[in-house]
Every structure is written in C-alpha cells, then in structure tokens.
Amino acid sequence: MNTDIVNSGRRKFLGTSALAISSAMLGLTFMNTKNAAAADYKQNAFSLVYGGAITKNEAGRVNIHPVSYKLNGLDIVANVYTPAGYDPSRTYPAIVVAHPNGGVKEQVAGLYAQNLAEQGYITIAADAAYQGGSGGAPRSVDKPQFRTEDIHGMADFITRFPGVDASRLGLFGICGGGGYSLAAAKSDKRFRSIATLSMFNSGRVRRNGYGDSQLATIQQRLREASAARAQEVAGGEVLYSGDANLTDAQIAALPFDLYRQGYEYYWKTHAHPGSTFKYTTSSLLDLMRWDATDQIELIDTPLLMMAGSKADSLYMTEDAFAKASGTKDKELFKIDGATHIETYWVPKYVEVAMGKLTPFFARTLVSSRS
C-alpha cells in the first residue's frame, strides 16, 4: 500500500493508493489466528509482525529459513517456510508469495506464506529489490519491471531449494504483488497456477488515480516525474512520492477505506522498519505507462482472484478477471464483508481466504508434469 504524493520542490497531496470457509468444515488445520491481530517486530527473532508468527524453529513444526541470493547483481533477502516434518530428501510443491506495494516479507506476505506452509507447501516471500532488506540504490525505486523480475527471481531460487518439485510451482500475489504476479504469469510458464488477494493494479492507479479520480492531472504528474528523473540523473536530490506524514485526524479524513486502514496497518498495528510508503518520483515514468491487465490473455493457467466484497479496490480485481480470457479455469471469489486491508490480518477473513487457497493449490499443484 503506497500513497500517491508527488513532491516537486514542495509536498503536495495528489491522492493516495495502496497500497474462511471454516477449517472445521474443510477438515483443514490452519495456523492459530485467534490472536492474529499483530505482533511487535522487536519481540520476534525473525522480526515478523503478524499475530501467530513463528518465534523459533522447532522440530515437527513449520520452520522459517532466512536466505539471500543474487538477482541481477543485487542482494535479495527472503524467508523460506518449510512444512512440519520437512525432509529435504522428499519432494514438495512450492508457492511464491509476492508482497504488497510498500510492504515487506515480515507482514502479510509472511502471514500467508506461513499459512500455506501449514498446508504442506514450501513457500518463499522476498523483499523487492530496492526495498526492505534487499539491495539496490537509490532506495525505494518501485518500477514494474523490477517487481516482476523479483517474482521470476523467487521462482529461480525456490525451484532449486532442497526438496522442491519444480514442476509443482504456484504463485500468490497480494495487493500490488497481485498485479505484478499477473504480469509475471503472462510469460513465466513455470507457474502451474496463480492466485491473487486484493489485487492492486499499480499502473492504473498511479496513472489515473485511485478510483480513476485523477484523470485530469495525468500530464501534469508526468511532467513532474520527468523533471524528477532529470534532476536525479544530473546528480541532484532524489525526489520521493508517497512519504506523507499524516496526523490521525488527516488519516480519518481520507476518502477511501484503503487509505485509512492502510495507514493504521502499516504505520501502527503492523509497522516494520523496512516498510515504507515512499517511492522515487521518477518511478512514475515507468508505472504510469504500465498496466497489470496488458496482454493478460497470455495467462492460460488456473487463476483464482480474491477480494473483499466491501473493498473499494474491488474494481481492479473485477476488471482484470474479466480481461483474463486466456484461461477457462478461473474464479472470482469475494470475501464477504471484508475491506482491502482487512484481508491482510483479520482472522476470520484470513481463514476464508485460506479456505479457498488450500483446495485451489491442492487441485492445481496435485501432481508433477509428465
């Protein structure tokens, strides 16, 4: 979840953007989400901020493995989750989990990666290049080509992890990571199936504004982004967008649930020092000419798209789903009563999402390709 604030010498607000079927009924065992609201990263050995997070590795339980690897010359940091009783001599399906805009692997991506590992998958959640704990300068570059490459890079790494069956690889993207997962899956046929949660089309929102509310200022914002790039390449100060330090009253006055609840999640209840709203203003040159739905018909694998029924971002999932004509195995599932951010952490909504993800990946990653 990020905010769209373009800084052109002075900060001015141009709009913001982000960025269970019961387990008893299914006979499934989910991570204990009873008190899954939040956790203090300072109190967790792996700096995880979600409730119910792993605090230490124990035999016979889901374990977490901090790893690092190179991607296009940059150091990428990630967490790999292995299922209970993991034995590297056996084979397991694997799932790549892509985090939201501005997020890090210790937040919602980690929550779902851990839940999926509970279901027997080896999962990976990595910090995007230029963001979180991963390398790259200037910091907080947020370009679609890099975020998409991050997903390819996670696939590169996890398919070589001990015990992973590379022919049973799934992809799960959340918020902005959902839009970038759609982009990656268009061409990367290593992914047998793809699921998204609260999908956020970063290009459409950066270009048109949230809810297509900033159409009148597109050219102005492109000129500001162009000037920011010119200043950057000339050795001047790197300008940033999205770095709004809002008061509680200003947050409460924001027009959309995604904005209000996003600030609460990222700045308060699930705050992590690696997570930031800001991105280089010059990134808008790339973001504003990109769209998650361009050539989406290239996706020919099973597709599950989930979003809250009350999410004001729902229009992006519905638009992408309608355009995904290349696959006949697709489902749009609305999580009844949930807003965008609530799908990140509210236990009952996480359980609903897992209630769809578990049978979806069980069906689509059931056996190796012949």
| Structural domains in the chain plus CATH codes | 3-19+26-364 (3.40.50.1820)
Average pLDDT over residues 78-105: 98
Percent above pLDDT 90 for the chain: 82
What is the per-residue pLDDT for 274?
A: 96
Structure tokens at 320: 């992408």
Q: pLDDT averaged over the chain? A: 90
pLDDT exceeds cutoff 90 at 24 = no
Amino acid present at 199 = M
Structure tokens at 340: 């965008």
**Residue owning tokens 């059931």:** 366
pLDDT exceeds cutoff 70 at 6 = no
* This prediction's pTM: 0.90
Beta bridge partners of 307: 334
More confident residue, 304 or 36: 304
Amino acid present at 52 = G
What is the per-residue pLDDT for 23?
A: 30
Q: What is the pLDDT of residues 186-242, one digit of tens each?
A: 999 999 999 999 999 999 999 999 999 999 999 999 999 999 999 999 999 999 998
pLDDT exceeds cutoff 50 at 10 = no
pLDDT exceeds cutoff 50 at 334 = yes
pLDDT exceeds cutoff 60 at 4 = no
pLDDT exceeds cutoff 90 at 112 = yes
Indicate the pairing of strand 92-98 with strand 122-126: parallel
With vertex at residue 350, the alpha carbon angle to CA 345 and CA 354, rounded to the nearest 5 degrees, is 150
Cα distances (angstroms) measured from residue 186 to each of 74, 109, 127, 157, 198: 24, 21, 22, 19, 19
CB-CB contact of 137 with 130 (8 Å): yes
What is the per-residue pLDDT for 369?
A: 64
What is the per-residue pLDDT for 97?
A: 99
- Count of CB atoms within 10 A of residue 51's CB? 20
What is the per-residue pLDDT for 30?
A: 39
Average pLDDT over residues 50-62: 96
pLDDT exceeds cutoff 80 at 28 = no
Instruction: State whether residue 272 is helix, strand or coil.
Output: coil
Cα distances (angstroms) measured from residue 74 to each of 68, 128, 155, 177: 10, 10, 16, 19
pLDDT exceeds cutoff 80 at 34 = no
Beta bridge partners of 13: 5
pLDDT exceeds cutoff 70 at 273 = yes
Structure tokens at 305: 């798209």
CB-CB contact of 207 with 144 (8 Å): no
More confident residue, 3 or 324: 324
